[in-house]
Amino acid sequence: MNRKFFGTDGIRGRVGEGVITPDFIMKLGWAVGRVLGDGNRRRNKVIIGKDTRISGYMFESALEAGLSAAGVDILLLGPMPTPGIAYLTRTLHAQAGIVISASHNPYHDNGIKFFSAHGAKLSDEIELAIETEIGKQFTCVSSSKLGKAERIDDASGRYIEFCKSTVPLGMELKGMKIVVDCAHGATYQVAPCVFDELGADVTTIGTSPNGLNINAGVGSTQPEALQKAVVEQGADIGIALDGDGDRVLMVDNNGELVDGDELLFVIAMSRKRQAQLNGGVVGTVMSNLGLERALNDSGIAFKRAKVGDRYVMELLQQDGWHLGGEGSGHIICLDRTTTGDGIVSALQVLYAMQQTGQSLSEIKAGMRKYPQLLINVKVNGWVDPGSSSAIQSAVRNVEAKMGKRGRVLLRPSGTEPLVRVMVEGEDPSEVKQVASELAQVVENEYACR
Protein backbone atom coordinates (compact mmCIF):
# COMPACT_ATOMS: atom_id res chain seq x y z
CA MET A 1 0.00 0.00 0.00
CA ASN A 2 1.33 3.43 -0.95
CA ARG A 3 1.39 5.79 2.01
CA LYS A 4 2.27 9.43 1.50
CA PHE A 5 3.20 10.41 5.04
CA PHE A 6 3.60 7.25 7.15
CA GLY A 7 6.84 5.31 7.11
CA THR A 8 7.51 1.96 8.75
CA ASP A 9 7.27 3.57 12.19
CA GLY A 10 4.99 6.59 12.00
CA ILE A 11 5.99 10.01 10.65
CA ARG A 12 9.45 11.43 11.31
CA GLY A 13 11.71 14.24 10.12
CA ARG A 14 13.50 17.45 10.99
CA VAL A 15 11.46 19.93 12.99
CA GLY A 16 10.13 22.78 10.85
CA GLU A 17 10.66 20.91 7.58
CA GLY A 18 8.28 18.87 5.44
CA VAL A 19 5.38 17.65 7.54
CA ILE A 20 7.07 18.08 10.92
CA THR A 21 5.40 21.45 11.44
CA PRO A 22 2.73 22.61 13.92
CA ASP A 23 0.07 23.17 11.25
CA PHE A 24 0.47 19.70 9.76
CA ILE A 25 0.59 18.00 13.16
CA MET A 26 -2.63 19.77 14.18
CA LYS A 27 -4.27 18.50 10.98
CA LEU A 28 -2.89 15.04 11.71
CA GLY A 29 -4.45 15.08 15.19
CA TRP A 30 -7.75 16.17 13.69
CA ALA A 31 -7.60 13.38 11.07
CA VAL A 32 -6.83 10.77 13.74
CA GLY A 33 -9.77 11.99 15.80
CA ARG A 34 -12.07 11.85 12.78
CA VAL A 35 -11.05 8.31 11.84
CA LEU A 36 -11.27 6.97 15.39
CA GLY A 37 -14.49 8.77 16.18
CA ASP A 38 -16.30 7.73 13.03
CA GLY A 39 -19.33 5.60 13.89
CA ASN A 40 -18.64 5.42 17.63
CA ARG A 41 -21.51 6.37 19.92
CA ARG A 42 -19.54 6.78 23.11
CA ARG A 43 -17.02 9.51 23.84
CA ASN A 44 -13.59 8.78 22.37
CA LYS A 45 -10.31 9.47 24.14
CA VAL A 46 -6.71 9.44 22.93
CA ILE A 47 -3.52 9.35 25.01
CA ILE A 48 -0.57 11.61 24.18
CA GLY A 49 2.93 11.02 25.54
CA LYS A 50 6.31 12.33 24.45
CA ASP A 51 10.05 12.15 24.95
CA THR A 52 12.18 15.05 26.19
CA ARG A 53 12.79 17.03 22.98
CA ILE A 54 12.10 20.75 23.23
CA SER A 55 9.76 20.53 20.23
CA GLY A 56 7.57 18.06 22.11
CA TYR A 57 5.76 20.90 23.87
CA MET A 58 4.82 22.47 20.54
CA PHE A 59 3.61 19.26 18.95
CA GLU A 60 1.73 18.17 22.06
CA SER A 61 -0.29 21.40 21.89
CA ALA A 62 -0.86 20.99 18.15
CA LEU A 63 -2.15 17.45 18.52
CA GLU A 64 -4.33 18.50 21.43
CA ALA A 65 -5.93 21.25 19.32
CA GLY A 66 -6.57 18.93 16.37
CA LEU A 67 -8.06 16.15 18.46
CA SER A 68 -10.26 18.57 20.38
CA ALA A 69 -11.55 20.06 17.13
CA ALA A 70 -12.55 16.54 16.07
CA GLY A 71 -14.47 16.04 19.32
CA VAL A 72 -12.00 13.64 20.96
CA ASP A 73 -10.91 13.86 24.61
CA ILE A 74 -7.19 13.88 25.38
CA LEU A 75 -5.22 12.30 28.22
CA LEU A 76 -1.79 13.91 28.59
CA LEU A 77 1.02 11.78 30.03
CA GLY A 78 4.00 14.12 29.62
CA PRO A 79 7.42 12.45 29.18
CA MET A 80 6.83 8.71 28.98
CA PRO A 81 8.63 5.82 27.22
CA THR A 82 7.01 4.65 24.00
CA PRO A 83 6.18 1.19 25.44
CA GLY A 84 4.70 2.88 28.51
CA ILE A 85 2.31 4.76 26.24
CA ALA A 86 1.34 1.47 24.57
CA TYR A 87 0.65 -0.08 27.98
CA LEU A 88 -1.38 2.87 29.27
CA THR A 89 -3.40 3.03 26.05
CA ARG A 90 -4.64 -0.48 26.85
CA THR A 91 -5.19 -0.07 30.57
CA LEU A 92 -6.89 3.32 30.32
CA HIS A 93 -9.14 1.96 27.55
CA ALA A 94 -8.26 4.71 25.08
CA GLN A 95 -9.03 4.44 21.39
CA ALA A 96 -5.40 5.18 20.52
CA GLY A 97 -2.06 6.25 21.93
CA ILE A 98 0.11 8.92 20.30
CA VAL A 99 3.86 9.12 20.84
CA ILE A 100 5.76 12.33 20.09
CA SER A 101 9.32 11.12 19.55
CA ALA A 102 12.09 10.59 17.02
CA SER A 103 13.51 7.70 19.05
CA HIS A 104 17.31 7.54 18.73
CA ASN A 105 17.57 10.59 16.43
CA PRO A 106 19.11 13.90 17.59
CA TYR A 107 16.99 16.59 19.25
CA HIS A 108 16.36 18.59 16.06
CA ASP A 109 14.26 15.72 14.67
CA ASN A 110 10.85 14.67 15.90
CA GLY A 111 8.04 12.41 14.87
CA ILE A 112 4.63 11.00 15.62
CA LYS A 113 3.75 7.33 15.96
CA PHE A 114 0.59 5.62 17.04
CA PHE A 115 -0.74 2.66 18.98
CA SER A 116 -4.14 1.06 18.63
CA ALA A 117 -6.51 0.48 21.54
CA HIS A 118 -4.74 -2.88 22.04
CA GLY A 119 -1.29 -1.27 22.35
CA ALA A 120 -0.11 -2.40 18.91
CA LYS A 121 1.03 -0.42 15.88
CA LEU A 122 -1.78 0.81 13.64
CA SER A 123 -2.70 -1.28 10.63
CA ASP A 124 -1.92 -0.12 7.10
CA GLU A 125 -5.64 0.32 6.49
CA ILE A 126 -6.07 2.75 9.40
CA GLU A 127 -2.96 4.70 8.41
CA LEU A 128 -4.33 5.05 4.89
CA ALA A 129 -7.68 6.18 6.27
CA ILE A 130 -5.89 8.86 8.31
CA GLU A 131 -3.97 10.03 5.25
CA THR A 132 -7.21 10.25 3.29
CA GLU A 133 -8.74 12.38 6.05
CA ILE A 134 -5.71 14.69 6.07
CA GLY A 135 -6.54 15.59 2.48
CA LYS A 136 -9.98 16.90 3.44
CA GLN A 137 -10.90 20.41 4.55
CA PHE A 138 -10.38 21.08 8.27
CA THR A 139 -13.64 21.53 10.19
CA CYS A 140 -14.48 21.88 13.86
CA VAL A 141 -17.25 20.27 15.87
CA SER A 142 -19.64 22.53 17.74
CA SER A 143 -18.41 24.00 21.02
CA SER A 144 -20.54 21.64 23.08
CA LYS A 145 -18.79 18.65 21.46
CA LEU A 146 -15.18 19.83 21.65
CA GLY A 147 -12.75 17.39 23.24
CA LYS A 148 -11.45 18.03 26.75
CA ALA A 149 -7.87 17.56 27.93
CA GLU A 150 -6.83 15.98 31.22
CA ARG A 151 -3.35 15.29 32.62
CA ILE A 152 -2.71 11.84 34.11
CA ASP A 153 -0.55 12.42 37.18
CA ASP A 154 0.16 8.81 38.13
CA ALA A 155 1.24 7.59 34.67
CA SER A 156 4.85 6.93 35.72
CA GLY A 157 3.83 4.92 38.76
CA ARG A 158 1.45 2.76 36.75
CA TYR A 159 4.12 1.94 34.19
CA ILE A 160 6.79 1.24 36.82
CA GLU A 161 4.51 -1.33 38.45
CA PHE A 162 3.81 -2.92 35.07
CA CYS A 163 7.53 -3.29 34.30
CA LYS A 164 8.15 -5.00 37.63
CA SER A 165 5.22 -7.36 36.98
CA THR A 166 6.98 -8.85 33.94
CA VAL A 167 9.39 -10.82 36.15
CA PRO A 168 8.48 -13.28 38.94
CA LEU A 169 7.24 -11.68 42.15
CA GLY A 170 10.12 -13.05 44.21
CA MET A 171 12.88 -11.68 42.00
CA GLU A 172 15.18 -9.29 43.84
CA LEU A 173 18.28 -7.45 42.63
CA LYS A 174 19.72 -6.90 46.10
CA GLY A 175 23.51 -6.86 46.00
CA MET A 176 23.65 -6.11 42.28
CA LYS A 177 25.27 -2.86 41.16
CA ILE A 178 23.70 -1.45 37.99
CA VAL A 179 24.47 1.64 35.92
CA VAL A 180 21.45 2.86 33.94
CA ASP A 181 21.88 5.18 30.95
CA CYS A 182 18.61 6.89 30.02
CA ALA A 183 19.96 8.90 27.04
CA HIS A 184 18.50 12.10 28.56
CA GLY A 185 15.27 10.72 27.13
CA ALA A 186 11.82 9.49 28.03
CA THR A 187 12.95 6.85 30.55
CA TYR A 188 14.84 9.25 32.83
CA GLN A 189 12.12 9.25 35.50
CA VAL A 190 10.98 5.63 35.40
CA ALA A 191 13.91 3.34 34.52
CA PRO A 192 16.05 4.07 37.61
CA CYS A 193 12.99 3.57 39.82
CA VAL A 194 12.22 0.14 38.36
CA PHE A 195 15.65 -1.29 39.15
CA ASP A 196 15.91 0.55 42.47
CA GLU A 197 12.56 -0.78 43.68
CA LEU A 198 13.71 -4.32 42.84
CA GLY A 199 16.62 -3.81 45.24
CA ALA A 200 19.55 -2.97 42.99
CA ASP A 201 22.25 -0.44 43.82
CA VAL A 202 21.55 1.97 40.96
CA THR A 203 23.64 4.81 39.58
CA THR A 204 22.60 6.76 36.52
CA ILE A 205 23.88 8.71 33.55
CA GLY A 206 21.81 10.48 30.91
CA THR A 207 19.10 11.53 33.36
CA SER A 208 19.32 15.33 33.03
CA PRO A 209 17.32 16.24 29.91
CA ASN A 210 17.25 19.88 28.84
CA GLY A 211 15.32 19.51 25.60
CA LEU A 212 18.46 19.68 23.47
CA ASN A 213 20.63 16.80 24.72
CA ILE A 214 18.56 13.69 24.02
CA ASN A 215 20.83 10.88 22.71
CA ALA A 216 23.83 13.26 22.76
CA GLY A 217 26.90 11.24 23.79
CA VAL A 218 24.78 8.77 25.77
CA GLY A 219 22.22 6.01 25.30
CA SER A 220 22.14 2.87 23.20
CA THR A 221 23.46 4.65 20.09
CA GLN A 222 26.53 5.99 21.94
CA PRO A 223 27.24 3.51 24.76
CA GLU A 224 30.89 4.43 25.33
CA ALA A 225 30.08 6.57 28.38
CA LEU A 226 28.19 3.66 29.93
CA GLN A 227 31.00 1.21 29.22
CA LYS A 228 33.44 3.54 30.95
CA ALA A 229 31.13 4.03 33.95
CA VAL A 230 30.59 0.28 34.44
CA VAL A 231 34.35 -0.36 34.57
CA GLU A 232 35.14 2.64 36.77
CA GLN A 233 32.39 1.80 39.26
CA GLY A 234 33.00 -1.94 39.27
CA ALA A 235 29.34 -2.48 38.36
CA ASP A 236 27.83 -5.86 37.58
CA ILE A 237 25.99 -4.57 34.54
CA GLY A 238 25.11 -1.49 32.50
CA ILE A 239 21.79 -0.80 30.79
CA ALA A 240 21.68 1.59 27.80
CA LEU A 241 18.25 2.77 26.66
CA ASP A 242 17.48 4.94 23.66
CA GLY A 243 15.63 8.25 23.58
CA ASP A 244 12.12 6.81 23.69
CA GLY A 245 12.87 3.64 25.65
CA ASP A 246 11.90 0.94 23.18
CA ARG A 247 15.48 -0.26 22.63
CA VAL A 248 18.15 -1.53 24.99
CA LEU A 249 21.78 -2.58 24.80
CA MET A 250 23.70 -3.80 27.82
CA VAL A 251 27.26 -3.74 29.10
CA ASP A 252 28.74 -6.70 30.98
CA ASN A 253 30.97 -6.51 34.05
CA ASN A 254 34.06 -6.39 31.81
CA GLY A 255 32.79 -3.27 30.06
CA GLU A 256 31.99 -5.15 26.85
CA LEU A 257 28.91 -4.12 24.86
CA VAL A 258 26.20 -6.77 24.52
CA ASP A 259 23.99 -6.10 21.49
CA GLY A 260 20.40 -7.00 20.69
CA ASP A 261 21.26 -10.31 19.03
CA GLU A 262 23.09 -11.51 22.13
CA LEU A 263 20.32 -10.29 24.46
CA LEU A 264 17.76 -12.07 22.29
CA PHE A 265 19.79 -15.28 22.65
CA VAL A 266 19.95 -14.93 26.44
CA ILE A 267 16.18 -14.37 26.72
CA ALA A 268 15.40 -17.22 24.33
CA MET A 269 17.51 -19.68 26.30
CA SER A 270 15.88 -18.52 29.53
CA ARG A 271 12.42 -19.06 28.05
CA LYS A 272 13.45 -22.53 26.87
CA ARG A 273 14.67 -23.49 30.36
CA GLN A 274 11.28 -22.45 31.73
CA ALA A 275 9.42 -24.24 28.88
CA GLN A 276 7.91 -20.85 27.97
CA LEU A 277 9.43 -20.17 24.56
CA ASN A 278 6.29 -21.01 22.56
CA GLY A 279 7.74 -21.65 19.13
CA GLY A 280 10.89 -20.08 17.81
CA VAL A 281 12.60 -16.70 17.50
CA VAL A 282 12.28 -14.04 14.81
CA GLY A 283 15.27 -11.89 13.85
CA THR A 284 15.92 -9.85 10.72
CA VAL A 285 18.02 -10.23 7.61
CA MET A 286 20.70 -8.27 9.52
CA SER A 287 20.74 -10.58 12.57
CA ASN A 288 24.15 -12.12 13.19
CA LEU A 289 24.66 -15.59 11.79
CA GLY A 290 25.99 -16.61 15.19
CA LEU A 291 22.52 -16.06 16.69
CA GLU A 292 20.91 -18.36 14.14
CA ARG A 293 23.54 -21.07 14.62
CA ALA A 294 23.40 -20.91 18.44
CA LEU A 295 19.61 -21.12 18.51
CA ASN A 296 19.52 -23.96 15.97
CA ASP A 297 22.15 -25.87 17.95
CA SER A 298 19.81 -25.59 20.96
CA GLY A 299 16.84 -26.89 18.97
CA ILE A 300 15.21 -23.46 18.60
CA ALA A 301 13.75 -22.44 15.24
CA PHE A 302 14.84 -19.10 13.80
CA LYS A 303 13.29 -16.98 11.04
CA ARG A 304 14.38 -13.71 9.45
CA ALA A 305 12.10 -10.76 8.72
CA LYS A 306 12.85 -7.56 6.85
CA VAL A 307 14.63 -4.86 8.85
CA GLY A 308 12.23 -3.03 11.17
CA ASP A 309 10.29 -4.04 14.28
CA ARG A 310 7.08 -3.75 12.28
CA TYR A 311 8.14 -6.72 10.14
CA VAL A 312 9.45 -8.70 13.11
CA MET A 313 6.04 -8.25 14.72
CA GLU A 314 4.22 -9.35 11.57
CA LEU A 315 6.18 -12.59 11.39
CA LEU A 316 5.71 -13.28 15.11
CA GLN A 317 1.95 -12.84 14.79
CA GLN A 318 1.84 -14.91 11.61
CA ASP A 319 3.52 -17.88 13.32
CA GLY A 320 2.05 -17.38 16.78
CA TRP A 321 5.53 -16.98 18.30
CA HIS A 322 6.39 -14.64 21.18
CA LEU A 323 10.04 -13.59 20.91
CA GLY A 324 11.87 -11.54 18.30
CA GLY A 325 14.12 -8.57 17.81
CA GLU A 326 16.95 -6.73 16.11
CA GLY A 327 20.65 -6.25 16.76
CA SER A 328 19.91 -2.61 17.54
CA GLY A 329 18.26 -3.74 20.77
CA HIS A 330 14.63 -3.53 19.74
CA ILE A 331 13.38 -6.73 21.41
CA ILE A 332 9.76 -7.86 21.41
CA CYS A 333 8.51 -10.18 24.18
CA LEU A 334 4.87 -10.76 23.26
CA ASP A 335 4.44 -12.99 26.30
CA ARG A 336 5.05 -9.90 28.44
CA THR A 337 3.87 -6.88 26.43
CA THR A 338 2.65 -5.73 23.01
CA THR A 339 5.67 -3.86 21.64
CA GLY A 340 9.42 -3.45 22.00
CA ASP A 341 10.28 -2.35 25.54
CA GLY A 342 13.85 -1.61 26.66
CA ILE A 343 13.17 -1.79 30.40
CA VAL A 344 11.13 -5.00 30.16
CA SER A 345 13.78 -6.62 27.94
CA ALA A 346 16.54 -5.69 30.40
CA LEU A 347 14.52 -7.24 33.22
CA GLN A 348 14.22 -10.51 31.28
CA VAL A 349 18.01 -10.62 30.92
CA LEU A 350 18.50 -9.91 34.64
CA TYR A 351 16.08 -12.71 35.47
CA ALA A 352 18.03 -15.10 33.21
CA MET A 353 21.21 -14.17 35.08
CA GLN A 354 19.58 -14.88 38.44
CA GLN A 355 18.10 -18.09 37.10
CA THR A 356 21.53 -19.42 36.15
CA GLY A 357 23.68 -17.68 38.74
CA GLN A 358 25.92 -16.46 35.92
CA SER A 359 27.18 -13.01 34.99
CA LEU A 360 26.15 -11.51 31.67
CA SER A 361 29.60 -12.18 30.21
CA GLU A 362 29.20 -15.86 31.14
CA ILE A 363 25.61 -16.31 30.04
CA LYS A 364 26.12 -14.70 26.63
CA ALA A 365 29.10 -16.98 25.92
CA GLY A 366 26.75 -19.64 24.54
CA MET A 367 26.51 -17.56 21.38
CA ARG A 368 29.59 -16.83 19.27
CA LYS A 369 29.12 -13.77 17.12
CA TYR A 370 30.41 -14.04 13.60
CA PRO A 371 32.57 -11.16 12.31
CA GLN A 372 30.24 -8.87 10.37
CA LEU A 373 31.10 -5.89 8.17
CA LEU A 374 28.63 -3.38 6.73
CA ILE A 375 29.69 -0.99 3.96
CA ASN A 376 27.36 1.77 2.76
CA VAL A 377 27.84 2.57 -0.93
CA LYS A 378 26.51 5.94 -2.09
CA VAL A 379 24.35 5.83 -5.23
CA ASN A 380 22.29 8.34 -7.18
CA GLY A 381 18.74 7.84 -5.96
CA TRP A 382 17.02 4.57 -5.12
CA VAL A 383 18.38 1.49 -6.89
CA ASP A 384 17.68 -2.22 -6.63
CA PRO A 385 20.93 -4.23 -6.53
CA GLY A 386 18.88 -7.36 -7.23
CA SER A 387 18.14 -6.10 -10.73
CA SER A 388 21.81 -5.90 -11.74
CA SER A 389 23.19 -9.02 -13.43
CA ALA A 390 26.76 -7.96 -12.65
CA ILE A 391 26.03 -7.57 -8.95
CA GLN A 392 24.06 -10.79 -8.72
CA SER A 393 26.84 -12.68 -10.49
CA ALA A 394 29.36 -11.33 -8.00
CA VAL A 395 27.11 -12.30 -5.09
CA ARG A 396 26.69 -15.85 -6.41
CA ASN A 397 30.46 -16.24 -6.79
CA VAL A 398 31.02 -15.06 -3.21
CA GLU A 399 28.29 -17.33 -1.81
CA ALA A 400 29.78 -20.32 -3.62
CA LYS A 401 33.21 -19.46 -2.23
CA MET A 402 32.07 -18.97 1.38
CA GLY A 403 29.53 -21.79 1.46
CA LYS A 404 28.19 -22.37 4.96
CA ARG A 405 31.03 -20.38 6.49
CA GLY A 406 29.24 -17.07 5.94
CA ARG A 407 26.53 -15.10 4.19
CA VAL A 408 26.02 -11.99 2.08
CA LEU A 409 23.24 -9.40 2.03
CA LEU A 410 22.83 -6.43 -0.31
CA ARG A 411 19.87 -4.13 0.15
CA PRO A 412 18.92 -0.55 -0.65
CA SER A 413 18.49 1.83 2.28
CA GLY A 414 14.90 2.84 2.94
CA THR A 415 15.87 6.37 3.98
CA GLU A 416 19.06 7.35 2.12
CA PRO A 417 20.57 6.95 -1.40
CA LEU A 418 22.70 4.02 -0.30
CA VAL A 419 23.18 0.35 -1.01
CA ARG A 420 24.12 -1.52 2.15
CA VAL A 421 26.64 -4.31 1.58
CA MET A 422 26.79 -6.71 4.52
CA VAL A 423 29.08 -9.73 4.76
CA GLU A 424 29.64 -12.01 7.73
CA GLY A 425 31.57 -15.21 8.19
CA GLU A 426 33.98 -17.21 10.29
CA ASP A 427 37.18 -15.55 9.02
CA PRO A 428 37.36 -11.77 9.65
CA SER A 429 40.01 -11.22 6.95
CA GLU A 430 37.85 -13.02 4.38
CA VAL A 431 34.82 -11.00 5.46
CA LYS A 432 36.72 -7.74 4.96
CA GLN A 433 38.03 -8.79 1.55
CA VAL A 434 34.68 -10.02 0.26
CA ALA A 435 32.79 -6.95 1.51
CA SER A 436 35.28 -4.61 -0.16
CA GLU A 437 35.05 -6.52 -3.44
CA LEU A 438 31.25 -6.46 -3.48
CA ALA A 439 31.14 -2.77 -2.51
CA GLN A 440 33.43 -2.03 -5.47
CA VAL A 441 31.14 -3.95 -7.83
CA VAL A 442 28.14 -1.94 -6.59
CA GLU A 443 30.05 1.32 -6.93
CA ASN A 444 31.16 0.47 -10.48
CA GLU A 445 27.63 -0.51 -11.47
CA TYR A 446 25.96 2.67 -10.28
CA ALA A 447 28.80 5.21 -10.46
CA CYS A 448 27.45 7.01 -13.55
CA ARG A 449 23.74 6.65 -12.91
**Would you name the residues annotated as active-site residues?**
103
Q: 422 near 376, Cβ under 8 Å? A: no
DSSP, collapsed to helix, strand or coil, labels residue 177 as strand
In terms of Cβ atoms closer than 10 Å to its own Cβ (0-12, 13-18, 19+), residue 64 is buried
89 SS3 class:
helix
Selection from 24, 38, 27, 126 nearest residue 69 by Cα: 27
Residue 373: what are its φ and ψ, rounded to 5°? -130, 130
Q: Which of 15, 29, 161, 18 is nearest to 87 (CA)?
A: 161
Rounded Cα distance between 389 and 308, Å, is 28
- Residues paired with 422 in a beta bridge: 374, 409
Return the SS3 of 69. Answer: helix
Closest CA to 178 of 198, 197, 204: 204
Euclidean distance between CA atoms 228 and 127, whole angstroms: 43
Residue type, 288: N
Residue 366's CB is within 10 A of a number of other CB atoms, namely 15
